[in-house]
Structure 1
Amino acid sequence: MRELVSDLCLRTDGKIQKEDFDALVQWLVKVREMYQDIESRRADTREAAVDSVNRLEETWQLFKELEPKLIVNDEQLFRELKDRFGSPYGFGVY
């Protein structure tokens, strides 16, 4: 596509044929869609990172306040506690 656009720019002399113009418009639409997709993915990644940080802070706070025989009802927090603070031998440190 870049070659096509370069060719169009070099040979137009200010006049572009309809087919060439349509090809250029299609290329621009694809570029815009790719840009929007990239921005959407960046926003999703930022949101996931913020959620991960919040979950880690909540997990750490729960771990500091954890008492024996305390049942953690939130499965996501339980798994995070087990992954981060559990023992590799099967019984947890927490």
Structure 2
Amino acid sequence: MRRPYFDLIATGAKTIEVRVGYAKICKVAVGDSLRFTSSDGSLFTRITAVKEYKSFDEMLDAEDNTGIGEAGMTRDQLLAACRDIYPPEKEALGVFALHLAPLPE
């Protein structure tokens, strides 16, 4: 996971992880635990909600954008960040907003 987003989850500032509809993501459910890793660390979270959307635009219209990215990011900046990570053919798989709560390690 990219470091800035990992750090935001670790501090509790990022409570929504955005993913696209890869086979593994389509199988996640409320109550599942997720382990995120970055170059020098890992953290554990529990999924508290899973919401599926047709596009990043639809997701950003429906979700609390303050839980998705860095503090102060505008909707346009969040959209650009999502599309920087996932090109259009990946977005076409569907967009998932995974709501997270921290778990003790």
Q: Which has more strand, going by share of residues?
A: 2
**Taking CA–CA contacts closer than 8 Å with sequence separation of 6 or more, which of the two structures ends up with the larger relative contact order?**
2
Normalising by structure 1, report the TM-score: 0.24
Question: Bigger radius of gyration, 1 or 2?
Answer: 1
